[in-house]
Amino acid sequence: MYEDKTLICKECGNEFIFTAGEQEFYAEKGFENEPQRCKACRDARKAANRSGREMIEVTCSKCGKTCQIPASLRNKPDPLCSDCFAASKAE
């Protein structure tokens, strides 16, 4: 039903592939617009948005590693490092 599409990134102007699987995911989530930026530009925007956040150092409640989390989560019980957080989302 879906076929890979070649799109142009509005940020860098490079071509990128909007795969059939990604299109299916977008449809399942109800997203109506195609992505405007390639993965590298999306990641760069996310990193730029994160850099403005105040971060605090905590100990991961699952693995015990020291990590940083946004200060807005300071009162959250059982903080998780990014690895443990990602693993919990995958479960």
Three-state SS across 37-85?
Answer: CCHHHHHHHHHHHHHCCCEEEEECCCCCCEEEEEHHHCCCCCCCCHHHH
Give the residue-averaged pLDDT of 30-36: 95
Lowest-pLDDT range of 18-27, 32-41, 67-76: 67-76
The predicted structure's pLDDT at residue 69: 86
Check pLDDT > 80 for residue 89: yes
State pLDDT tens for residues 44-74.
Answer: 888 887 767 788 899 999 999 999 888 888 8
